[in-house]
Structure 1
């Protein structure tokens, strides 16, 4: 694999889940999994030996607490970033992970499109940091805002506090829109098995948070229909 790939360590006590996560990660161009650790000692040893760029970390382990280990990563391996992939959804857990500086927090069952978007965000984040370090010693407020916007913790948190928006359903629809590039309410309803009114509500929410845009499509006959398209991350 290319020497400039982002090197990932998966810390997950269930080997079957770890293998699924490995396959998901390596489907994204520019990433390679350099190790899998199933307990705290293995995780610490591999961090020291492999020096990964990114850790995919669960919370529940027989011999350690994932949040405690996250603090170890931040204190002893400050150049290593972390994305949490876990079934834990308690508010305190999510808040604590964000306070420790986790790049993103993704709940299980893992949806590939959601992980893919986060990994692409992380690539762009690292690229932007490299560019700015080479070009200047200081950055503007607008550039700081751009860096923060590229992290994954902002949008999932927003989705949890909006009444009537379920994160799993939102990820499913966002992933479908990412695959098809554009879709109507009727198509999303048909492909995901939800009602048209529900599909419309989620699609309009994606538009509201800036992850999609909507245009009117004028057919030969009948009323114009809204067509939704996924918004790509800005690249410079």
Structure 2
């Protein structure tokens, strides 16, 4: 990750805000720039500080109604990506967030792995926009997560990945393996991407299945041998 990204948390429950802060700061390259407990605090803070890259926003915030604060943010701070993190799952609310340009929408309780994947996806998109001057249709499809009709009538998502495998997280792990000559374990990968060992291993085993990576048994001084994942030689 070539640069760091700032996150502002709007959450009236301080316990949820603390959990969100902890999860955000466990993802390399992300830091929490501030928090707000109300709409008034949010507006005051955003008016004084540099605009954050990402705003994590709850729907149920004191001194505001419905999606009013979301719409205010999108109007006055359109450069900030808004990740909705809320207990509201009503179709009308989700639709308004989607049509209003929310970057992502997550229903509480906050899930560390899901939030981590969203942040990494944002970082990947931000880097892509910095580096590219023009996009092909396939690249645009990947950015918008559009499903493309393939020959034979088969529907596949960009990259044709199985359920539970996020393309941004997968690419991040691939780059990680490529930079580590001695390979990595699932525990090490999980720490870097801010996910559990089982989640990291799911990605690593997928790379083994596709032939990009091979798994070797690493015998330590004590305990059971663990699998070390290394890039497969061409």
Matched, 1:145 2:145: no
Question: Counterpart of 2:59 in 1: which secondary structure?
Answer: coil
| 1: CA distance, partners of 2:25 / 2:112 | 11
Matched, 1:15 2:36: no
Superposed displacement of residue 177, structure 1: 4.3
Superposed displacement of residue 80, structure 1: 0.8
Q: Which runs of 5+ in 2 are unaligned?
A: 147-156, 158-162, 164-194, 210-234
Superposed displacement of residue 73, structure 1: 1.2
Q: Which residue of 1 aligns with 2:201?
A: 180
1:50-89 map, 5 Å: 50=49, 51-65=51-65, 67-89=67-89
Q: Which runs of 5+ in 1 are unaligned?
A: 160-173, 185-211, 216-236
Matched, 1:38 2:34: no
Question: Counterpart of 1:4 in 2: which secondary structure?
Answer: coil
Measured against aligned partners, the alpha-carbon deviations of 1:79-117 in whole angstroms (never above 9, x if no partner) come to 111000011111111111101100000111111011111
CA RMSD of superposed structures (Å): 2.9
Q: Is the 8 A contact 1:114 1:175 kept in 2?
A: no
Q: Which residue of 1 aligns with 2:102?
A: 102
Measured against aligned partners, the alpha-carbon deviations of 1:154-184 in whole angstroms (never above 9, x if no partner) come to 9xxxx9xxxxxxxxxxxxxx96742333699
| 1: CA distance, partners of 2:204 / 2:34 | 38
Q: Would the alpha carbon gap of residues 182 and 96 (structure 1) be closer, same or farther in structure 2, given more than 3 Å must change?
A: closer
Q: Which residue of 2 aligns with 1:93?
A: 93
| 1: CA distance, partners of 2:62 / 2:84 | 17
Superposed displacement of residue 139, structure 1: 2.5
Q: Would the alpha carbon gap of residues 55 and 183 (structure 1) be closer, same or farther in structure 2, given more than 3 Å must change?
A: closer
* Count of residue pairs the alignment pairs up: 162
Where relative contact order (Cα < 8 A, 6+ residues apart) is larger, the structure is: 2
- Tell me which protein shows more helix as a share of its residues: 1
Superposed displacement of residue 140, structure 1: 2.6
| 2: CA distance, partners of 1:10 / 1:130 | 25
Superposed displacement of residue 35, structure 1: 0.4
Q: Is the 8 A contact 1:85 1:107 kept in 2?
A: yes
Q: Would the alpha carbon gap of residues 183 and 77 (structure 1) be closer, same or farther in structure 2, given more than 3 Å must change?
A: closer
| 2: CA distance, partners of 1:183 / 1:40 | 42
**Structure 1 length normalisation: TM-score?**
0.62
Question: Counterpart of 2:118 in 1: which secondary structure?
Answer: helix
| 2: CA distance, partners of 1:114 / 1:43 | 24
